[in-house]
Structure 1
Amino acid sequence: MSLDKKTIETLSVNAVEESVVTSGLLDSYINENDKEPSWDGAVYIYKCKKKTKENLRGRMPVQVKGKECNDHSKKTISFSIPTVDLKNYLNDGGCMFFVVYIGNNGLTKKIYYDELTPIKLRQILSESKKQKNKSLHLKEFPVDNNEKNTVFLNCLQNCEKQKSFKDCELFSLDELTQKNVLEDLFIPVEFAGKFNLQTFLLKNDFYIYAKIKGSSVLHPINIILKNIHTHQIIDGLITIDDKVFYKNFEVEKTAIEKIIHIGESFSIHFIENSNEVNFRYNNSKKLSVLVHDLNFFLTYIEKGYFNIDNVRIPFNC
């Protein structure tokens, strides 16, 4: 039996409110029946767990949408929204947008979100042209309370820094460099407590602000940093039987996978929260490297394993 619209809306708002109010630094004032034209209410962000007027950090407008769906396995989703709402969010200085998947007749819920800062809204609207609706791409809302607080703190500070530039021309780094007015660059990030910092940096968007000669405020640059990768060279022997093929390897991490690069041609891809492992081989353009990498790969297939510092990696892992 399908749930009616009112039930989905109520369950969605309740899910967001419950997730927010248990975080420690956040408090919610969200309506269930869309009393405002484009918003459902707001989340108030505090400097500490003592939620008093004196400790109020700021207020973030929010919109909550619900959808009946039993598939809660997706890391990201798409959701269509009227462009007139996007324009209203921009005029108001930004919005935190939620979509809640309600499944199993209301017994299970999955929250997704998007931080609609003025810079992001400008980019989305510039792409929408004359479309009446635009599809947003949302990601999973964190379950860790410190990470929830950090998401809201950073959305709030970016909206505050960008609000006065919602109608202004945005410069590129090349333009500022050519004009010789660029003094410094900043990527401000606020953290609330301890959590998996690397995961947060890989999954979230970040903004660059420029200090310009003759200006007392930081100017946002017209780009958003997304899909950040981390790279680390690790000293460790790659061996098969007693033969050493390599003395180090590179570990690359993205929001969805961990990749081990061996040599210039071979890589192993571990998908996040999955048993899926992919092996990839791309020929190096250097003949000597190609011969060595190919020798390693063929030996790996023949023997059925290789070792990374005595840790056995089977061919069928």
Structure 2
Amino acid sequence: MANIEQLAVNAVTDLIGRCPKLSDYIASNDRTPVTDGHIDVHSSEKKSNSTLVGRVPIQVKGRATDKKIKQRRDSIKFPVNYEVLRFLRDDGGGIYFYVSMLPDGTKRTVFYAVLAPYKIDRILNGKGLDQKSFSIPFKRFPQDASKIQTIVGYALEGRNQGKTSGFDGNLLEQMQSLTIYSVDGINADRPTVLNLEQNDFAVTAHTAGGLSLPVDIDLTVYPGSYASQGLEVAISCGEIEYLDPMIQFSDENTGCIQFSKGLALNFIGGANHSLETSIALNLEGSVRSQLKDLDFFLAARRGMPLVIDGVAQALFSATDELKGQPEILRDKIARLMELFDAFGLDDTYIDALELTADDKRTLLTLHKAIVRGEEVEATSDGIGRYDFPIGKFKIVTLVTNGSTEGHKRIIDPFDPGMRAKLRIYSSVGDSAVEEAEWGTVYEPMNGEDLANTMNLRLNGIVRSYEMLEDRQGAISTANQKTLDLIAAADSVEGARRDYLLDGANTLCEWTVACGEDTLVYKINLWQIARRRGRLSAQDKRDIRTYRRTEQQSSADNAKLREACLSILLEDYEELDLALESFTEADLAQIRSWPIWTLFALS
């Protein structure tokens, strides 16, 4: 049988050995508590006592697995014991290596995590004292010697964090500069976001008094071309006001005040403090911001003065790059916003829409039919459900004959005002069609429908289930629809994902408030929170309490619930133990639930 620990150490030392300024001292089967050795960092390739810069403790864990690590996989999660994290934090940090290999010792893959004190603090912050291990992301260790030396150098820099108990916020007033040590470097062309929970970097603050102290902060580093700043004044025209717009100078007399993506005020300073201004409009950004931009622009074009920090300023000129009259465009955009507001769509979701000219024409027709309640001209004889495509989304409607030939009524089935007027029918196999009093208008919507339909009006979904006469049946049906919404959210991204999770959360809170099987519904609430990274320390304590109860229970589905709770905690060792007792039917069932996606993506 292969000596896994020895092979793991060899895999690490082989890579460290490529680096001319590093020396490793790592023992296999080492009896030293916590660490397995260290790496010495030298300032020169001529290694000697005089060139020794510092020493980085390391820990090496080897694991044999039958599953081959995919070459394209750049990261993996691995549990690290609390006592190891606590020691490394208090000792100044180090590097933790995880080496995966096949049982015969081949296909060795080295992953690493630099565990500096501030990063460990982030990992442990808010966690329960009874948590014995923490699942930590490990990155694939590079093959290139210069990259390896950079990683070890960062770990050495991080050890300075163990020499201070924190950073005094009052010293920020004296701070003159920051030094950033980043493993991935700083991009010179676009902003670099540095978040300690996702990136490896260390920051040192240098004060006017000559102090240099490590600081625990996240940063966004902007190139010089991004050096715009907030203008701490209000600027208005007519009834429209922008607070704290951004200002950027081209030279000492020329610059631009950017109100939004599509509206800017260009200015040129002249003699005797004179100021020539011109406002430029180009419709960009969200539909709501376009409407605001147009109102500001039209007020300026009518001759209304600019009011800058309470002082009126004559406008030199107002130009636009629009194809069409601004007044007409403003009317169309206002109608679009009325329709979106009727659907209950928030600005974040609307911002993500990419509307073509055909999409906008369709939406204006639907505004006439749904918001104004007017019949529209139509050449088709068909009636029933009709889905209007809007980019990658759609609007689901019911089409009926109008009062006159060649006209149709278009109905939004999710409109709260239509609930008492619509009936849901269903049939099973060849059985007769019967009214489905147990369901709502949401039941006919499959996963793809939920993922892509714009007019679901999820802000009112609870009321649809509250209106069902069979309360227990309504709760059960609502719980299934919660799962459908979560699954649909997993198939999309961005604002659409947030929109579906909001709806699922609202519906799930209702089932928790009035349902009997509270744990099942709470698991759904927790898995929504887990998807958003919002599981609190109290949530995790509650989950552990419930899991202990389920582990001792002989009730039906107790093992299923225990497995779900372990997934929520990312405790995959306990999950593996629970799955060992599962039947094929149990495995098929849990794998069909959205919570399994959390495990599959881990």
| TM exceeding 0.5 | yes
Aligned-partner SS, 1:123:
helix
Instruction: Measure the CA separation in 2 of the matches of 1:115 and 1:296.
Output: 52
Contact map agreement 2:89 2:120 (CA 8 A) in 1: yes
1:295 Cα deviation after fit: 5.7
Select the structure that is richer in helix. Answer: 2
Q: Which amino acid aligns with 1:157?
A: E
Deviations along 1:239-297, whole A, 9 cap, x unmatched?
xxxxxxxxxxxxxxxxxxxxxxxxx9xxxxxxxxxxxxxxxxxx843487999973699
Instruction: Measure the CA separation in 1 of the matches of 2:162 and 2:154.
Output: 14
> Structure 1 residues 132 and 292, CA, compared in 2 at 3 Å: closer, same or farther?
closer
Corresponding residue of 2:45: 49
Q: Counterparts of 1:254-265 in structure 2 under 5 Å?
A: none
Q: 1:207 aligns with which of 202, 205, 228?
A: 202
Instruction: Measure the CA separation in 1 of the matches of 2:354 and 2:79.
Output: 50
Q: Counterparts of 1:154-193 in structure 2 under 5 Å?
A: 154-159=154-159, 161-165=160-164, 168-171=165-168, 177=172, 180-188=173-181
Normalising to structure 2: TM-score of the pair? 0.34
1:220 Cα deviation after fit: 2.3
Aligned-partner SS, 1:32:
coil
1:77 Cα deviation after fit: 1.0
Q: Which amino acid aligns with 1:103?
A: L
> Structure 1 residues 114 and 181, CA, compared in 2 at 3 Å: closer, same or farther?
same
Contact map agreement 2:116 2:161 (CA 8 A) in 1: yes
Report the count of equivalent residues.
233
> Structure 1 residues 71 and 183, CA, compared in 2 at 3 Å: closer, same or farther?
same
1:68 Cα deviation after fit: 1.6
Q: Counterparts of 1:98-117 in structure 2 under 5 Å?
A: 98-103=97-102, 105-117=104-116
Deviations along 1:92-129, whole A, 9 cap, x unmatched?
21111100111262121111111111211222232433
Instruction: Measure the CA separation in 1 of the matches of 2:13 and 2:356.
Output: 55
Q: Counterparts of 1:2-41 in structure 2 under 5 Å?
A: 7-41=3-37
> Structure 1 residues 224 and 95, CA, compared in 2 at 3 Å: closer, same or farther?
farther
Unaligned runs of 5+ in 1: 234-263, 265-282, 298-317
Instruction: Measure the CA separation in 1 of the matches of 2:19 and 2:183.
Output: 16
> Structure 1 residues 50 and 29, CA, compared in 2 at 3 Å: closer, same or farther?
same
Contact map agreement 2:183 2:201 (CA 8 A) in 1: no
Q: 1:217 aligns with which of 211, 219, 235?
A: 211
1:51 Cα deviation after fit: 2.0
Corresponding residue of 1:96: 95
Deviations along 1:30-85, whole A, 9 cap, x unmatched?
11113111000001112222222222221110000011233322211111111111
Corresponding residue of 1:243: none
Select the structure that is richer in strand. Answer: 1
Higher relative contact order (CA 8 A, sep 6+): 1
Corresponding residue of 2:75: 76
Aligned-partner SS, 2:216:
strand
Sequence identity of aligned pairs in percent? Answer: 28
Of the structure 1 ranges 32-41 and 201-210, higher mean CA displacement relative to structure 2 is found in: 201-210
Contact map agreement 1:207 1:225 (CA 8 A) in 2: no
Contact map agreement 2:101 2:107 (CA 8 A) in 1: yes
Aligned-partner SS, 2:86:
helix
Aligned-partner SS, 2:34:
coil
Q: Which amino acid aligns with 1:71?
A: K
Aligned-partner SS, 1:37:
coil
1:190 Cα deviation after fit: 8.7
Contact map agreement 1:117 1:158 (CA 8 A) in 2: yes
> Structure 1 residues 48 and 284, CA, compared in 2 at 3 Å: closer, same or farther?
same
Q: Which amino acid aligns with 1:16?
A: V
Q: Which amino acid aligns with 1:217?
A: L
Normalising to structure 1: TM-score of the pair? 0.62
Q: Which amino acid aligns with 2:59?
A: Q
